[in-house]
A = this chain, B = another copy of it.
Amino acid sequence: MDQRIREHAETLVDWSARIEPGDDVVVSVAEGAHDLAVAVAEALGEREANVVTTYASDEVSRAYLRAHSGDFDEAPAHELALYENADSVLFLGGGRNTFATADVDGATRQAAARARQPIKEARMETDWVSTVHPTRSLAQQAGMSYESYQEFVYGAILRDWESLAEEMAELKSVLDAGSEVRLVTGDTDLRMSIEGRTAVNSAASVAYDSHNLPSGEVFTAPYDTEGEVVFDVPMTISGTRVRDVWFRFEDGRIVDFSAEAGEETLGDLLDTDEGARRLGELGIGMNRGIDRITDNILFDEKMGDTVHLAFGRAYDACLPDGESGNDSAVHVDLITDVSEDSRLEVDGEVVQRNGRFRWEAGFDTDG
Protein backbone atom coordinates (compact mmCIF):
# COMPACT_ATOMS: atom_id res chain seq x y z
CA MET A 1 0.00 0.00 0.00
CA ASP A 2 1.12 3.57 -0.82
CA GLN A 3 2.46 4.90 2.48
CA ARG A 4 0.56 8.18 1.94
CA ILE A 5 -2.75 6.25 2.24
CA ARG A 6 -1.70 4.97 5.69
CA GLU A 7 -0.68 8.48 6.76
CA HIS A 8 -4.02 9.80 5.49
CA ALA A 9 -5.86 7.16 7.56
CA GLU A 10 -3.84 7.92 10.67
CA THR A 11 -4.41 11.68 10.30
CA LEU A 12 -8.13 11.02 9.89
CA VAL A 13 -8.44 8.69 12.88
CA ASP A 14 -6.10 10.47 15.30
CA TRP A 15 -5.94 14.19 14.46
CA SER A 16 -9.38 14.58 12.88
CA ALA A 17 -11.78 12.16 14.60
CA ARG A 18 -9.85 11.62 17.88
CA ILE A 19 -10.92 7.98 17.99
CA GLU A 20 -10.59 6.28 21.39
CA PRO A 21 -10.70 2.55 22.25
CA GLY A 22 -14.28 1.30 22.36
CA ASP A 23 -15.69 4.05 20.14
CA ASP A 24 -18.53 2.89 17.87
CA VAL A 25 -17.53 4.13 14.42
CA VAL A 26 -19.40 4.10 11.10
CA VAL A 27 -17.09 4.20 8.07
CA SER A 28 -18.91 5.27 4.89
CA VAL A 29 -17.01 4.09 1.80
CA ALA A 30 -17.54 5.62 -1.65
CA GLU A 31 -17.19 3.39 -4.73
CA GLY A 32 -13.58 4.36 -5.35
CA ALA A 33 -12.40 4.66 -1.73
CA HIS A 34 -11.65 0.99 -1.09
CA ASP A 35 -7.90 1.41 -0.50
CA LEU A 36 -8.46 4.19 2.03
CA ALA A 37 -11.14 2.05 3.74
CA VAL A 38 -8.57 -0.73 4.19
CA ALA A 39 -6.07 1.70 5.75
CA VAL A 40 -8.75 3.23 7.99
CA ALA A 41 -9.87 -0.24 9.13
CA GLU A 42 -6.27 -1.00 10.06
CA ALA A 43 -5.97 2.23 12.06
CA LEU A 44 -9.32 1.60 13.81
CA GLY A 45 -8.35 -1.99 14.62
CA GLU A 46 -5.10 -0.80 16.21
CA ARG A 47 -7.06 1.68 18.33
CA GLU A 48 -9.64 -1.00 19.27
CA ALA A 49 -12.62 0.92 17.96
CA ASN A 50 -15.77 -0.91 16.75
CA VAL A 51 -16.60 -0.52 13.07
CA VAL A 52 -19.66 -0.72 10.81
CA THR A 53 -18.72 -0.10 7.18
CA THR A 54 -21.41 1.32 4.87
CA TYR A 55 -21.25 1.46 1.08
CA ALA A 56 -21.93 4.96 -0.24
CA SER A 57 -22.28 4.14 -3.92
CA ASP A 58 -23.66 6.84 -6.21
CA GLU A 59 -24.80 4.18 -8.68
CA VAL A 60 -26.71 2.31 -5.96
CA SER A 61 -28.33 5.59 -4.82
CA ARG A 62 -29.25 6.52 -8.38
CA ALA A 63 -30.92 3.14 -9.04
CA TYR A 64 -32.88 3.37 -5.79
CA LEU A 65 -34.02 6.97 -6.24
CA ARG A 66 -35.01 6.57 -9.90
CA ALA A 67 -37.08 3.46 -9.12
CA HIS A 68 -38.84 4.98 -6.10
CA SER A 69 -42.21 6.74 -6.33
CA GLY A 70 -40.82 9.67 -4.33
CA ASP A 71 -43.10 9.09 -1.35
CA PHE A 72 -40.32 8.28 1.12
CA ASP A 73 -40.77 6.96 4.65
CA GLU A 74 -39.41 9.40 7.20
CA ALA A 75 -36.18 8.35 8.91
CA PRO A 76 -36.24 4.52 8.66
CA ALA A 77 -35.75 3.03 12.15
CA HIS A 78 -32.73 0.86 11.31
CA GLU A 79 -30.72 3.66 9.75
CA LEU A 80 -31.64 6.12 12.49
CA ALA A 81 -30.68 3.59 15.20
CA LEU A 82 -27.28 3.03 13.56
CA TYR A 83 -26.35 6.72 13.71
CA GLU A 84 -28.00 7.47 17.06
CA ASN A 85 -25.75 4.78 18.56
CA ALA A 86 -22.56 5.86 16.77
CA ASP A 87 -19.78 7.93 18.34
CA SER A 88 -18.13 8.86 15.04
CA VAL A 89 -18.92 8.73 11.33
CA LEU A 90 -16.02 8.81 8.87
CA PHE A 91 -17.06 9.63 5.30
CA LEU A 92 -14.51 8.35 2.81
CA GLY A 93 -15.43 10.09 -0.44
CA GLY A 94 -14.01 9.30 -3.86
CA GLY A 95 -16.36 8.10 -6.57
CA ARG A 96 -15.85 6.72 -10.05
CA ASN A 97 -18.01 9.23 -11.95
CA THR A 98 -18.91 12.65 -10.64
CA PHE A 99 -22.05 12.61 -12.83
CA ALA A 100 -23.26 9.21 -11.56
CA THR A 101 -26.51 10.70 -10.24
CA ALA A 102 -26.98 13.39 -12.89
CA ASP A 103 -30.21 11.83 -14.22
CA VAL A 104 -32.01 11.67 -10.87
CA ASP A 105 -34.97 14.01 -10.76
CA GLY A 106 -34.37 17.04 -8.52
CA ALA A 107 -37.74 16.78 -6.76
CA THR A 108 -37.05 13.12 -5.86
CA ARG A 109 -33.65 14.08 -4.52
CA GLN A 110 -35.12 16.76 -2.26
CA ALA A 111 -37.98 14.55 -1.09
CA ALA A 112 -35.40 11.93 -0.06
CA ALA A 113 -33.31 14.58 1.71
CA ARG A 114 -36.35 15.88 3.61
CA ALA A 115 -37.40 12.37 4.70
CA ARG A 116 -33.86 11.60 5.84
CA GLN A 117 -33.36 14.87 7.75
CA PRO A 118 -33.52 13.22 11.23
CA ILE A 119 -30.82 10.77 10.08
CA LYS A 120 -28.62 13.61 8.92
CA GLU A 121 -29.14 15.30 12.28
CA ALA A 122 -28.20 12.11 14.14
CA ARG A 123 -25.02 11.85 12.04
CA MET A 124 -24.15 15.47 12.74
CA GLU A 125 -24.48 14.81 16.49
CA THR A 126 -21.53 12.41 16.20
CA ASP A 127 -17.84 13.25 15.82
CA TRP A 128 -18.16 13.06 12.04
CA VAL A 129 -15.40 13.76 9.53
CA SER A 130 -15.53 13.93 5.71
CA THR A 131 -12.46 13.18 3.68
CA VAL A 132 -11.73 12.04 0.13
CA HIS A 133 -9.60 9.36 -1.48
CA PRO A 134 -8.00 10.48 -4.76
CA THR A 135 -9.68 8.64 -7.64
CA ARG A 136 -9.26 8.87 -11.41
CA SER A 137 -12.75 10.38 -11.61
CA LEU A 138 -11.80 13.21 -9.26
CA ALA A 139 -8.53 13.71 -11.15
CA GLN A 140 -10.59 14.05 -14.33
CA GLN A 141 -12.96 16.52 -12.67
CA ALA A 142 -9.90 18.53 -11.63
CA GLY A 143 -8.45 18.40 -15.15
CA MET A 144 -5.34 16.64 -13.82
CA SER A 145 -3.43 13.43 -14.36
CA TYR A 146 -4.01 10.75 -11.71
CA GLU A 147 -0.51 10.98 -10.27
CA SER A 148 -0.53 14.78 -10.10
CA TYR A 149 -3.94 14.67 -8.48
CA GLN A 150 -2.71 12.25 -5.82
CA GLU A 151 0.12 14.68 -5.05
CA PHE A 152 -2.37 17.54 -4.86
CA VAL A 153 -4.68 15.65 -2.45
CA TYR A 154 -1.96 14.43 -0.11
CA GLY A 155 -0.32 17.86 -0.25
CA ALA A 156 -3.58 19.32 1.09
CA ILE A 157 -4.19 16.58 3.68
CA LEU A 158 -0.78 15.64 5.10
CA ARG A 159 -0.05 19.01 6.69
CA ASP A 160 1.14 20.41 9.99
CA TRP A 161 -2.39 20.97 11.27
CA GLU A 162 -1.34 22.29 14.64
CA SER A 163 0.60 25.11 13.05
CA LEU A 164 -2.23 26.01 10.64
CA ALA A 165 -4.66 26.06 13.57
CA GLU A 166 -2.55 28.76 15.23
CA GLU A 167 -2.57 30.92 12.09
CA MET A 168 -6.36 30.63 11.80
CA ALA A 169 -6.96 31.55 15.44
CA GLU A 170 -6.09 35.16 14.50
CA LEU A 171 -9.00 35.48 12.07
CA LYS A 172 -11.36 33.71 14.45
CA SER A 173 -10.64 36.29 17.17
CA VAL A 174 -11.49 39.14 14.75
CA LEU A 175 -14.79 37.53 13.71
CA ASP A 176 -15.76 36.61 17.29
CA ALA A 177 -15.33 40.24 18.35
CA GLY A 178 -17.16 41.62 15.27
CA SER A 179 -20.81 42.46 14.54
CA GLU A 180 -21.02 42.95 10.78
CA VAL A 181 -19.13 41.56 7.82
CA ARG A 182 -19.05 43.30 4.45
CA LEU A 183 -17.72 41.58 1.34
CA VAL A 184 -16.94 43.75 -1.67
CA THR A 185 -15.63 42.61 -5.07
CA GLY A 186 -16.18 43.90 -8.63
CA ASP A 187 -19.81 42.75 -8.72
CA THR A 188 -20.46 41.87 -5.07
CA ASP A 189 -21.48 44.10 -2.19
CA LEU A 190 -22.93 42.08 0.67
CA ARG A 191 -23.48 42.83 4.34
CA MET A 192 -24.15 40.15 6.96
CA SER A 193 -24.63 40.26 10.71
CA ILE A 194 -22.40 37.95 12.78
CA GLU A 195 -23.26 39.51 16.16
CA GLY A 196 -23.44 36.80 18.83
CA ARG A 197 -22.07 34.11 16.53
CA THR A 198 -18.88 32.15 17.13
CA ALA A 199 -16.41 31.50 14.34
CA VAL A 200 -14.98 28.02 13.94
CA ASN A 201 -11.23 27.60 13.50
CA SER A 202 -11.63 24.75 11.08
CA ALA A 203 -8.40 22.86 11.63
CA ALA A 204 -9.61 19.48 10.33
CA SER A 205 -10.38 18.08 13.77
CA VAL A 206 -13.51 17.54 15.83
CA ALA A 207 -11.48 19.04 18.69
CA TYR A 208 -11.91 22.35 16.78
CA ASP A 209 -15.55 21.67 15.75
CA SER A 210 -14.09 21.05 12.30
CA HIS A 211 -15.34 18.10 10.28
CA ASN A 212 -13.45 18.13 6.98
CA LEU A 213 -10.08 16.66 6.10
CA PRO A 214 -8.51 18.62 4.52
CA SER A 215 -9.74 21.81 6.09
CA GLY A 216 -8.12 25.18 6.58
CA GLU A 217 -10.90 27.75 6.74
CA VAL A 218 -12.53 29.94 9.34
CA PHE A 219 -16.32 30.00 9.16
CA THR A 220 -19.28 31.44 10.98
CA ALA A 221 -23.07 31.56 10.61
CA PRO A 222 -24.22 34.94 9.26
CA TYR A 223 -27.79 36.30 9.23
CA ASP A 224 -29.76 39.40 8.17
CA THR A 225 -27.89 39.34 4.86
CA GLU A 226 -28.48 42.29 2.50
CA GLY A 227 -27.14 43.01 -0.98
CA GLU A 228 -25.82 41.17 -4.00
CA VAL A 229 -23.14 38.57 -4.53
CA VAL A 230 -21.62 36.82 -7.53
CA PHE A 231 -19.85 33.46 -7.20
CA ASP A 232 -17.31 33.25 -10.01
CA VAL A 233 -15.75 29.87 -9.18
CA PRO A 234 -17.47 27.17 -11.31
CA MET A 235 -18.47 23.94 -9.56
CA THR A 236 -20.54 20.77 -9.83
CA ILE A 237 -23.59 20.55 -7.56
CA SER A 238 -25.76 17.42 -7.43
CA GLY A 239 -24.13 16.26 -10.64
CA THR A 240 -24.82 19.51 -12.50
CA ARG A 241 -22.33 22.15 -13.62
CA VAL A 242 -23.06 25.47 -11.95
CA ARG A 243 -21.35 28.70 -13.04
CA ASP A 244 -21.56 32.44 -12.30
CA VAL A 245 -24.31 32.38 -9.73
CA TRP A 246 -25.87 35.68 -8.70
CA PHE A 247 -27.99 36.14 -5.55
CA ARG A 248 -29.88 39.20 -4.30
CA PHE A 249 -30.73 39.22 -0.58
CA GLU A 250 -33.44 41.22 1.20
CA ASP A 251 -34.11 40.85 4.94
CA GLY A 252 -31.75 37.85 5.05
CA ARG A 253 -33.58 36.02 2.27
CA ILE A 254 -32.58 35.22 -1.33
CA VAL A 255 -35.28 37.07 -3.28
CA ASP A 256 -33.77 36.81 -6.74
CA PHE A 257 -31.13 34.61 -8.34
CA SER A 258 -29.62 33.62 -11.66
CA ALA A 259 -26.82 31.40 -12.97
CA GLU A 260 -25.00 31.19 -16.29
CA ALA A 261 -25.21 27.39 -15.95
CA GLY A 262 -27.18 25.07 -13.65
CA GLU A 263 -29.93 27.57 -12.85
CA GLU A 264 -32.64 24.86 -12.70
CA THR A 265 -30.68 22.67 -10.27
CA LEU A 266 -30.00 25.71 -8.15
CA GLY A 267 -33.71 26.63 -8.17
CA ASP A 268 -34.65 23.10 -7.07
CA LEU A 269 -32.21 23.31 -4.18
CA LEU A 270 -33.43 26.76 -3.12
CA ASP A 271 -36.98 25.36 -3.09
CA THR A 272 -36.13 22.46 -0.75
CA ASP A 273 -37.51 24.32 2.27
CA GLU A 274 -37.74 27.83 3.69
CA GLY A 275 -34.26 27.61 5.26
CA ALA A 276 -32.71 26.94 1.86
CA ARG A 277 -33.29 30.63 0.97
CA ARG A 278 -31.14 31.91 3.84
CA LEU A 279 -27.41 31.76 4.48
CA GLY A 280 -26.00 29.07 6.75
CA GLU A 281 -22.31 29.83 6.44
CA LEU A 282 -19.67 32.42 5.63
CA GLY A 283 -16.28 30.76 5.20
CA ILE A 284 -12.85 32.18 4.48
CA GLY A 285 -10.33 29.85 2.84
CA MET A 286 -6.85 29.82 4.43
CA ASN A 287 -5.25 26.59 3.20
CA ARG A 288 -2.51 27.76 0.82
CA GLY A 289 -1.51 24.11 0.34
CA ILE A 290 -4.53 24.02 -1.96
CA ASP A 291 -3.16 25.90 -4.95
CA ARG A 292 -5.91 25.43 -7.54
CA ILE A 293 -9.65 24.92 -8.03
CA THR A 294 -10.37 21.21 -8.65
CA ASP A 295 -14.20 21.31 -8.74
CA ASN A 296 -14.44 19.51 -5.39
CA ILE A 297 -16.01 21.53 -2.62
CA LEU A 298 -14.01 19.76 0.11
CA PHE A 299 -10.86 21.34 -1.36
CA ASP A 300 -12.09 24.41 -3.23
CA GLU A 301 -13.73 26.12 -0.25
CA LYS A 302 -10.53 25.81 1.82
CA MET A 303 -8.28 27.39 -0.82
CA GLY A 304 -6.46 30.54 0.18
CA ASP A 305 -7.72 33.74 -1.56
CA THR A 306 -11.33 32.51 -1.68
CA VAL A 307 -14.47 33.26 0.31
CA HIS A 308 -17.54 31.01 0.25
CA LEU A 309 -21.12 31.29 1.36
CA ALA A 310 -23.52 28.40 1.88
CA PHE A 311 -27.28 28.62 1.66
CA GLY A 312 -29.22 26.28 3.94
CA ARG A 313 -28.35 24.72 7.24
CA ALA A 314 -26.06 26.50 9.72
CA TYR A 315 -23.64 24.57 11.92
CA ASP A 316 -24.55 24.52 15.63
CA ALA A 317 -20.90 25.13 16.51
CA CYS A 318 -21.34 28.77 15.41
CA LEU A 319 -24.35 29.34 17.67
CA PRO A 320 -24.53 30.00 21.43
CA ASP A 321 -25.12 26.78 23.42
CA GLY A 322 -28.66 25.54 23.02
CA GLU A 323 -29.57 27.97 20.23
CA SER A 324 -30.17 26.87 16.66
CA GLY A 325 -29.25 28.75 13.53
CA ASN A 326 -30.81 28.57 10.09
CA ASP A 327 -32.43 25.16 9.58
CA SER A 328 -32.68 23.32 6.27
CA ALA A 329 -32.25 19.89 4.71
CA VAL A 330 -29.60 21.36 2.39
CA HIS A 331 -26.25 23.07 2.84
CA VAL A 332 -24.82 24.21 -0.51
CA ASP A 333 -21.53 26.10 -0.73
CA LEU A 334 -20.70 28.63 -3.45
CA ILE A 335 -17.27 30.22 -3.85
CA THR A 336 -15.90 33.54 -4.99
CA ASP A 337 -12.34 34.48 -5.83
CA VAL A 338 -11.01 37.32 -3.65
CA SER A 339 -7.42 37.36 -4.91
CA GLU A 340 -7.97 40.65 -6.80
CA ASP A 341 -10.16 43.73 -6.56
CA SER A 342 -11.72 42.70 -3.27
CA ARG A 343 -11.98 43.51 0.39
CA LEU A 344 -13.48 41.89 3.45
CA GLU A 345 -14.45 44.28 6.25
CA VAL A 346 -15.44 43.56 9.82
CA ASP A 347 -17.24 46.51 11.44
CA GLY A 348 -15.83 48.83 8.81
CA GLU A 349 -12.20 47.73 9.15
CA VAL A 350 -10.53 45.92 6.30
CA VAL A 351 -9.36 42.46 7.44
CA GLN A 352 -8.43 41.06 4.03
CA ARG A 353 -7.67 42.92 0.80
CA ASN A 354 -6.96 41.20 -2.53
CA GLY A 355 -6.39 37.93 -0.68
CA ARG A 356 -3.89 39.23 1.89
CA PHE A 357 -4.84 39.40 5.57
CA ARG A 358 -3.89 42.49 7.49
CA TRP A 359 -1.37 40.59 9.61
CA GLU A 360 0.38 39.23 6.52
CA ALA A 361 3.32 40.66 4.63
CA GLY A 362 2.08 42.34 1.44
CA PHE A 363 -1.17 43.64 2.95
CA ASP A 364 -1.98 47.00 1.34
CA THR A 365 -3.18 49.24 4.15
CA ASP A 366 -4.48 51.93 1.76
CA GLY A 367 -6.45 49.72 -0.65
Contact of A41 among B63, B72, B78, B79 (CB under 8 A): B63
How far does the alpha carbon of A84 sit from the alpha carbon of B84 in the complex, in Å? 13
- Residues in B with CB closer than 8 Å to A26 are 78
Instruction: Decide yes or no: A54 and B53 within 8 Å by CB, A46-B67, A63-B41, A66-B42 being known contacts.
Output: yes
- Residues in B with CB closer than 8 Å to A84 are 81
Question: Is A173's beta carbon under 8 Å from chain B?
Answer: no
- Residues in B with CB closer than 8 Å to A71 are 48
Q: Which residue of B lies closest to A59 (CB)?
A: B38
- Residues in B with CB closer than 8 Å to A65 are 45
Which residues in chain A, 37-68, are within 8 Å of chain B measured between CB atoms?
A: 37-39, 41-46, 48, 50-57, 59-61, 63-68
Contact A53 B42 (CB under 8 A): no
The quantity of this chain's copies bound in the complex is 2
Q: Which residue of B lies closest to A22 (CB)?
A: B73
Which residues in chain A, 233-265, are within 8 Å of chain B measured between CB atoms?
A: none
Which residues in chain A, 16-52, are within 8 Å of chain B measured between CB atoms?
A: 22, 24, 26, 29, 31, 34, 37-39, 41-46, 48, 50-52
Contact B41 A60 (CB under 8 A): yes
How far does the alpha carbon of A352 sit from the alpha carbon of B286 in the complex, in Å? 77
How far does the alpha carbon of A61 sit from the alpha carbon of B57 in the complex, in Å? 19
Contact A53 B52 (CB under 8 A): no
Contact B34 A57 (CB under 8 A): yes
Question: Is A183's beta carbon under 8 Å from chain B?
Answer: no
Question: Is A76's beta carbon under 8 Å from chain B?
Answer: yes
Contact A77 B67 (CB under 8 A): no
Question: Is A142's beta carbon under 8 Å from chain B?
Answer: no
Question: Is A365's beta carbon under 8 Å from chain B?
Answer: no
Contact B67 A50 (CB under 8 A): no
Contact A51 B39 (CB under 8 A): no
Contact of A78 among B38, B66, B85 (CB under 8 A): B85
Question: Is A3's beta carbon under 8 Å from chain B?
Answer: no
Contact of A63 among B39, B55, B77 (CB under 8 A): B39
Measured between C-beta atoms, what is the minimum distance from A115 to chain B in Å? 9
- Residues in B with CB closer than 8 Å to A72 are 50
Question: Is A86's beta carbon under 8 Å from chain B?
Answer: yes
Contact B42 A64 (CB under 8 A): yes
- Choose among A46, A52, A79, A87 the residue with the greatest number of B CB atoms under 10 Å from its CB: A52
Question: Is A82's beta carbon under 8 Å from chain B?
Answer: yes
Measured between C-beta atoms, what is the minimum distance from A63 to chain B in Å? 4
Measured between C-beta atoms, what is the minimum distance from A206 to chain B in Å? 17
Q: List 3 tightest A-B contacts by C-beta distance, closest first.
A: A45-B67, A50-B76, A81-B81
> Could you show 12 A-B contacts with beta carbons less than 8 Å apart?
A24-B79, A31-B34, A42-B64, A45-B68, A50-B72, A50-B73, A50-B78, A50-B79, A53-B54, A53-B60, A54-B54, A78-B83
